[in-house]
């Protein structure tokens, strides 16, 4: 179960903190509802590009536990991770700490950053901020705190309003530590940020100086760089990028002269298209175009695909809360549905505690087809469970009941009769190829997501579903 608090992680990391009154690496600490992982990846890529040794800790892991930790832009080696995990778990057992799985992962990341000589650690909060295990970081350890987009999610733990959730997430702010916030947040979130910065710096008449952001001229230069413009980044991707650049700029200002900072920012903006591509390649399941392997394409279609020599691609996104659903729906409307308002085939599974009604109403449109499935139990996270696919199908039907031409079904494996992610993907492909949209137009986007001869497919609803999709793609034996 989720068990927030700092006492166990403090005990678990006591040897590290007693040895280092200040950690040998500087933390960039990131909280927020949406965009944390992407912003963390942008920041680590930007810092690595400048030659710094950078560790990154994000959550949740998609396939393997060690996926959440990277050292110098590479996922930590499995054996290195397991050895460190064993050491931390032994400490927890012998001292009666009873650390949670996330606390163990946090401790493993911090120990690995230290032992492998990282200069920066980009650390993403797991849940909330104030009581999150990563908030064991002390004020002397943190270079800059970052708050990405805040919205409704995990209300049982963080509060039932955006303002209350923002207050919990702003709990990572520390005295004398700069704060960068996504400026597209709601006014109530920005109000909370300003109040919290003033509060943690009580007695400092110039506390507002700790609230920093990317200079407007640099933001304009970055977003208007021709290569960046050509990438057609979604609005939320631009916001994440701008926030990351704000944190990066602050770090550079604290380490270089003004002239050097200007030169490095100019060169960074010039190289930004390639850096964005590197970032997107290392953070999975965020508006990711995925090419399906032959074993996920129905056998009756596979030969046809080979003859056409056109890979079958789908859009995969971990959107799982109302705010993320809005961003996904906008991207699909702008880049996939297009002026012809193409229908979408959704492969969908959601966690039981999510706002299902808002999610469905936001992303599903009349004429869409929904294939529900169930994601597998999550390793070491027994409290995470997928909504029953039959129950989800009924909910979608109920919610979309007043809309015409929608279709809902459960993706069943033809041999076992059980609902699986792989079966849902194969069913979606079959529907896509057998009921192509009557648009008479060519592909809207490169990569085969939208084509005149097939209905586009989007897989969404949970990052845990994304993890199962990645496993299904790799599972050539089954």
Task: Write out pLDDT tens, residues 409-455.
Answer: 999 998 899 999 999 999 999 999 886 555 433 333 444 455 556 88
Q: Does 406 have pLDDT greater than 80? A: no
pLDDT above 80 (res 381): no
What secondary structure letter does DSSP report for 81?
H
What pLDDT was estimated at residue 159?
84
Cβ atoms of 56 and 110 closer than 8 Å: no
Angle between helices 36-49 and 235-253 (to 10 degrees): 40
Q: Of the segments 113-127, 197-211, 299-313, 355-369, which one has the largest average pLDDT value? A: 113-127
Q: Which residues contact 305 (CB under 8 A, 6 or more apart)?
A: 294, 297, 311, 312
Contact 167, 200 (CB under 8 A): no
Q: Residue-wise over 300-309: b if at least 16 C-beta within 10 A, else e?
A: ebeeebeeee
- Hey, how many other C-beta atoms are within 10 angstroms of the C-beta on 117? 12
Average pLDDT, the chain: 90
Per-residue pLDDT for 133 more than 70? yes
> CA–CA separation, 305 vs 291, rounded Å?
12
Residue 350, token pair as written in the block: 């959601």
Q: Where are the domains of the chain?
A: 6-282, 288-435+451-474
Least confident of 127-141, 232-246, 439-453: 439-453
Q: Is 12 helix (H, G, I), strand (E, B) or coil?
A: helix
- Whose tokens are 């074993």? That residue is 295
pLDDT of residue 115: 98
- Tally the C-alpha atoms within 13 A of residue 171's C-alpha that lie toward its C-beta: 20
* Bond before 21 cis per omega within 30 degrees: no
Q: What is the pLDDT of residue 311?
A: 78
Residues 56-83 pLDDT 10s = 999 888 888 899 999 999 999 999 999 9
pLDDT given at position 393 = 94
Strands (E), 97-141: 120-124
385: confidence class by pLDDT, cuts 50, 70, 90: confident
What are φ and ψ of residue 415, in 5° steps? -85, -50
pLDDT in tens, 270-295: 999 999 999 998 888 888 999 999 99
Q: How confident is the model at residue 317 (pLDDT cuts 50, 70, 90)?
A: very high
User: Any idea how long the chain is?
Assistant: 478
The superfamily CATH assigns to domain 6-282 is Mur-like, catalytic domain (3.40.1190.10)
In this structure, the strands spanning 120-124 and 26-31 are parallel
Q: What is the pLDDT of residues 388-405, one digit of tens each?
A: 999 999 999 998 876 555
C-alpha distances out from residue 343 to 43, 187, 357, 403, 451, Å? 36, 35, 20, 13, 12
Q: Percentage of residues in the chain with pLDDT exceeding 70?
A: 91
Query: Quick one: what percent of the chain has pLDDT higher than 90?
Result: 72
**CATH code of domain 288-435+451-474:** 3.90.190.20
**472 vs 293: CA distance, rounded Å:** 9
Those residues whose C-beta lies under 8 Å from the C-beta of residue 269, and which sit 6 or more positions away, are 218, 221, 222, 225
Q: Closest Cα partner for 313 from 446, 168, 418?
A: 446
Q: Name the DSSP class of 388.
A: P
């Amino acid at each position: 179960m989720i068990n927030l608090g700092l006492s166990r992680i403090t005990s678990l990391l006591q040897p590290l903190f007693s040895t280092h009154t200040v950690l040998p690496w500087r933390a960039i600490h990131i909280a927020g509802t949406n965009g944390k992982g992407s912003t963390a990846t942008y920041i680590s890529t930007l810092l690595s590009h400048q030659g710094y040794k950078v560790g990154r800790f994000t959550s949740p892991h998609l396939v393997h536990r060690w996926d959440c930790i990277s050292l110098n832009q590479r996922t930590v080696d499995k054996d290195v991770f397991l050895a460190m995990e064993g050491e931390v778990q032994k400490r927890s057992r012998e001292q009666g700490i009873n650390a949670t799985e996330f606390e163990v992962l946090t401790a493993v990341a911090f120990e690995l950053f230290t032992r492998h000589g990282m200069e920066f650690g980009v650390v993403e909060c797991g849940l909330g901020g104030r009581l999150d295990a990563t908030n064991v970081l002390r004020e002397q350890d943190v270079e800059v705190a970052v708050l990405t987009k805040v919205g409704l999610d995990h209300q049982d733990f963080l509060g039932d309003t955006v303002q209350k959730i923002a207050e919990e997430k702003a709990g990572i702010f520390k005295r004398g530590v700069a704060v960068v916030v996504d400026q597209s947040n709601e006014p109530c979130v920005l109000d909370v940020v300003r109040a919290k910065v003033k509060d943690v710096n009580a007695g400092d008449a110039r506390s507002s100086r700790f609230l920093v952001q990317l200079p407007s001229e640099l933001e304009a230069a970055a977003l208007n760089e021709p290569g960046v413009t050509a990438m057609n980044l979604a609005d939320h991707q631009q916001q994440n990028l701008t926030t990351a650049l704000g944190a990066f700029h602050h770090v550079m200002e604290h380490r270089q002269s003004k002239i050097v900072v200007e030169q490095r920012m100019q060169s960074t903006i010039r190289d930004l298209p390639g850096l964005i591509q590197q970032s997107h390649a290392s953070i999975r399941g965020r508006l990711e175009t995925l090419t399906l392997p032959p074993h996920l394409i129905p056998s009756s279609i596979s030969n046809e695909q080979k003859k056409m020599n056109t890979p079958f691609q789908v859009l995969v996104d971990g959107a799982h809360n109302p705010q993320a659903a809005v961003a996904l729906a906008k991207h699909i409307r702008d880049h996939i549905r297009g002026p012809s308002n193409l229908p979408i085939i959704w492969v969908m599974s959601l966690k039981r505690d999510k706002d299902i009604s808002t999610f469905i109403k936001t992303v599903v449109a009349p004429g869409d087809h929904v294939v529900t499935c169930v994601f597998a139990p999550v390793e070491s996270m027994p409290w995470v469970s997928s909504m029953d696919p039959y129950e989800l199908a009924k909910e979608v039907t109920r919610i979309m009941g007043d809309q015409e031409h929608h279709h809902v079904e459960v993706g069943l494996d033809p041999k076992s009769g059980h609902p699986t992610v792989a079966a849902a993907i194969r069913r979606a492909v079959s529907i896509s190829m057998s009921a192509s949209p009557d648009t008479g137009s060519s592909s809207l986007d490169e990569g085969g997501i939208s084509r005149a001869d097939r209905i586009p497919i989007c897989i969404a609803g949970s990052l845990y579903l994304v993890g199962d999709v990645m496993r299904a793609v790799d599972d050539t034996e089954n």
